[in-house]
Amino acid sequence: MAKFSELGIESDVVVGKGIDIEDLFGRRILIEKTIIQPTKFPGKNQSGLRMQMQVVLATFEDNGDYLKREDGTPDGERRSCFTGSDILIGAIQKAESNLPVINKQRQDKGLDLLQLYPMDTTIVKVGKCFQFT
């Protein structure tokens, strides 16, 4: 008999209490998961999309690494955040599409392959625009 955990199926949900994106500005975070779907509020942005992010308010060590749980996942409080920012949504979509090319180049050079998540980033507000750094 198979255990569900052995089937390689991940639930398509974001966990964590909601947090306003403004509360994340200028704060180093980890993004563990994103879900991009059509917005429930048409006309708010040009793409007609919204993105839900599962972020971890992680603790970072002096060497820049984040603390990990015994299972290797980031240690820290998980929060969820919605955004309709076309710039942030586009950046995640571009990262997703560029990753195979980047990993092919890394593989050819004998380097370790990258995984998109968890993603170490800071969200900043520049004028009216939000950006990942």
- Report d(CA 65, CA 79) in Å as an integer: 20
Q: Is the pLDDT of residue 5 over 80?
A: no
Task: List the structure tokens of 123.
Answer: 């969200």
Domain ranges of the chain: 13-132
Torsion of CA 101, 107, 113, 115, to 10 degrees: 20
Find the Cα–Cα–Cα–Cα dihedral 26, 28, 77, 36, rounded to 10°.
80
Residue 93 has pLDDT above 80, yes or no: yes
CA–CA distance, 42 with 33 (Å, rounded to integer) = 23
* pTM of the predicted protein model: 0.86
pLDDT in tens, 110-124: 999 999 999 999 999
